[in-house]
Chains A and B, each alone.
Chain A
Amino acid sequence: MTTPLLAVRCLGKRFGGLVALDDVSFDVAAGETVGIMGANGAGKTTLFSLIAGNQQPSSGGVDFDGRPITGLSPDRVCRLGIGRTFQIVKPFPALSVLENLRTAAMFGRAGFRDAAAADRHSRAILDELGLADVAERPAGTLTLSGQKRLEIARAVATGARLVLLDEVMAGLTPTEVARMLETLRQLRATRGLTLLVIEHVMRALMDLCERIVVLHHGERIAIGTPAEIGADPRVLSVYLGAGA
């Protein structure tokens, strides 16, 4: 049995009296795409913050590629190979789109020391995400859809092996969703990415993910293939009401 790329072990997070995550565990194998599903407030983004190091867990831990990364600062976690997007986009507004990626390319796992090499690396990714023609524009002037693609581009540009995608489909039209799905599939294939995906857009989740973890009030209530999840009684009762 090979070591999973990501192992979430009994992860818990409390904020004062509020329990955001409670004893959540699951594994992600290298190359897999795993979805995270749950209502708002179920703890999904907190999960990402704990994995990426933006916040510290109250209990439990996270292993990446066999070694524990619990408690490491976000920049160290990034250099080890985990990239993430933020649900509320955080671009570098006054820097150009290309410069946004340059940061990722220079400081992430890819670690380019030289700006020119970093930019070559970045331009390829901008191409794949349809941002090549706005490369020189200040990131703050992009549309929301563009900024969301920029989030993904940056996370990928770090050279990450595992990318955490937080609701990247939110607010997209069905056509845009289809395009984004295609883009993500392509990125995943060409770079051998492992993906952890938070999504509300069911179609995207079912389409992209091999397995899905369902969270409810901070607990893991189900884990399985999209088909299994669709038939799981507990999931159905949470989403459709008791007795469904």
Chain B
Amino acid sequence: MTVVDTLLSGQLLFAALVTGSTYALVALGLNLVYGTLRVLNVAHGDVVMLGAYAGYWAFTGLGVSPLVAAPLIAALGAIAGLLLYRGVLRRMLGSGAASSVRLEGNSLLLFFGLSIILQNAAALALTPNNRGYSYLDTVVHLGGVAMTGHRHAALVIAGATCIAAALFLSRSLAGLTMRAVIEGREAAYIVGVDVERVQAMSFAIGFASAALAGVLLSMLEQFSPFSGFPYTIAAFIVIILGGLGNVAAGLGAALLLGAIETYGVALTSANLRSVLLYGVFVGALLLFPRGLFARRAARA
């Protein structure tokens, strides 16, 4: 296949869309959590992994279709997020850490430690082997593109959820409140926003969307206890490129990342998938050294 053929392939475009929309869904959760709390949850991808296992069991153990199990698992994720927020985070945030930068730096190591615990606990309890199952395996032809049914389903669900989230943030009052907290926590306090509730809510949505992404992932690929981390990295890239708290731009950034990966791999080789991912990651951070502080406000 020539380069031009590759680039114009509807097949690849579709694959890029599927990958991109999954990344967008994962990034959505991290965006909200980081945006409202300034806490870098590097264990976010592991929640995706846990969602994948949940989806796997729902199907192989209980015979429930992942499409049906998905909202339930997402709800479970939301509850887990709320519990984690109430249990651990509030204590950390309230302990009066020396400076906010130190807290952020420490919280990264904290969550990294949690990530390691999650991955290895899962490996211990569930074996480190790859898991997978087949669902909606039949190939569906749509406009010259041949894709398995589960890919269509994943794209629809991920895409719909992201668009709904973007609309929520831009149109609803609750969403506006959340954006206010993301842009200026102190100011939000002053105007009477219940910042506590917004933070709890963002944690809940964050974990829910990650769990949902996990269920979709379980339909699409084989996974292991260690599959989660690349999704964390992808989520970071999306947030850095799209801007903090900006879910709509994040969607665009996620699709771009999906495209870079899909087309990059197709043009070169599958070995380069991770090289591309981390290459974009390093590049994005170097280009935007202030990382996730996307707003360049004028200082008086």
Contacts and interface: CB of A to CB of B under 8 A. Distances in A.
Whether A and B are associated in the same complex: the answer reads yes
Interface of A: 15-18, 20, 40-41, 93-94, 140
What is the predominant secondary structure among interface residues of chain B facing chain A?
A: loop
15 contacts: A15-B298, A15-B299, A16-B296, A16-B298, A17-B298, A18-B298, A18-B300, A20-B299, A20-B300, A40-B300, A41-B300, A93-B98, A93-B99, A94-B98, A140-B98
A93 B96 CA distance: 14
Contacts of B98: 93-94, 140
Nearest to A94: B98
Interface string B223-261: 000000000000000000000000000000000000000
A226 B300 CA distance: 26
Contacts of B300: 18, 20, 40-41
Interface string B173-200: 0000000000000000000000000000
Contacts of A40: 300
Interface of B: 98-99, 296, 298-300
Contacts of A20: 299-300
A93 B299 CA distance: 26
A126 to B, nearest CB: 23
Nearest to A218: B300
Contacts of B298: 15-18
A41 B98 CA distance: 29
A21 to B, nearest CB: 11
A96 to B, nearest CB: 15
Nearest to A45: B300
B223 to A, nearest CB: 43
A216 to B, nearest CB: 14
A47 to B, nearest CB: 13
Which 9 residue pairs across A and B have the least CB separation, nearest first? A18-B298, A15-B298, A41-B300, A16-B298, A15-B299, A93-B98, A20-B300, A140-B98, A17-B298
Contacts of A41: 300
Nearest to B102: A93
Contacts of A94: 98
A16 B299 CA distance: 9
A17 B298 CA distance: 8
A40 B299 CA distance: 12
Contacts of A16: 296, 298
Nearest to B296: A16
Contacts of A15: 298-299
Given A15-B298, A20-B300, A94-B98, 6 more contacts: A15-B299, A16-B296, A16-B298, A18-B298, A41-B300, A140-B98
B162 to A, nearest CB: 31
Nearest to A41: B300
Nearest to A43: B300
A16 B298 CA distance: 7
A62 to B, nearest CB: 20
Nearest to A17: B298
B51 to A, nearest CB: 41
A15 B295 CA distance: 13
B300 to A, nearest CB: 5
B241 to A, nearest CB: 22
B222 to A, nearest CB: 48
Contacts of A18: 298, 300
Nearest to B300: A41
Q: Which of B99, B296, B299 has the most CB of A within 10 A?
A: B299
A74 to B, nearest CB: 17
A16 B300 CA distance: 11
A200 to B, nearest CB: 15
Nearest to A20: B300
A94 B299 CA distance: 29
A16 B296 CA distance: 9
| Residue from B296, B298, B300 with most neighbouring chain A CB atoms (10 Å) | B300
B99 to A, nearest CB: 8
